[in-house]
Amino acid sequence: MSNFDAVKVKDDVVNWIREYFKANATPETNAVIGISGGKDSSVAAALCVEALGKDRVVGVLMPQGEQFDIDCSKKLVAHLGIRSYEVNIGSTVSALLGELGAQLEVKEQARVNTPPRIRMTTLYAVAACVGGRVVNTCNLSEDWVGYSTKFGDSAGDFSPLSELTVREVIAIGEVLGLPDDLVHKTPIDGLCGKTDEDNLGFTYAELDSYIRKESDLSDKPATKERIDGMHVRNLHKLMPMPKFEFDPE
């Protein structure tokens, strides 16, 4: 990471956000972002504030019932001075899974992926109410191995962080002067209490070094095989929806 200039990249992303809104919105259009209190939403929100001003950034807190770390989300909103709304998705998730469960067995994949998809629906509903574009907060490391939900947190209108690895996002967060406990907060899945790295089976440090070709993981063949396998299996999350190409001629 010796060649990564966090100040320059931060400025480049800020300018990119400004250009996106000039080309795709009006001067009154807001950036609408889900606030989890982790590094990605914190950094993405702060970048939008610098690009557009705090009055044009709207944070949405979306706990599912009780959220043990909701204070982190509230801390970020207060730090940035942005408008925010709290929409609890707990009853919506329960109602939908309950309706499904009355007719078929609700598999674990449905239980895991339904909440983030409802959160994305919530973000677009808020955006429709306030006149906004939804911020995608995924980073390159997560996208590389598919650690996101298709049409859930992987969705959005524009993505300021998807070409930046976890450590690069953290470096930009430090440049932005965000609270250290938010920038360096250990990411957890919010379901079983495991960290992202526990679920992935490798560390973000290993993944980031592999992505940036600083390490070929030749000393850790099992880790390399796992990363490569996840990357290939999850490429569909990053690709446009396949469509039948019809030639009327």
The pLDDT assigned to 249 comes to: 85
Q: What residues have CB less than 8 Å from 188, skipping those under 6 apart?
A: 194, 195, 196
Residue ranges for the chain with pLDDT beneath 70: 1-2, 189-193
What is the rounded distance in angstroms from the CA atom of residue 30 to the CA atom of residue 134? Answer: 9
The pLDDT assigned to 187 comes to: 81
The pLDDT assigned to 192 comes to: 59
Which token pair is 148? 């996101």
The pLDDT assigned to 143 comes to: 97
The pLDDT assigned to 134 comes to: 98
The pLDDT assigned to 191 comes to: 57
The pLDDT assigned to 68 comes to: 86
Instruction: Say if CB 35 and CB 84 are below 8 A apart.
Output: yes
Q: Among 15, 1, 92, which residue's Cα sits nearest to residue 51?
A: 15
The upper half-sphere exposure of residue 191, i.e. CA atoms within 13 Å in the direction of its Cβ, equals 13
The pLDDT assigned to 3 comes to: 87
Angle among Cα 201, 183, 142 to the nearest 5 degrees reads 35
The pLDDT assigned to 149 comes to: 95
Q: What domains appear along the chain, each with residue ranges and CATH number?
A: 6-187 (3.40.50.620)
The pLDDT assigned to 46 comes to: 98
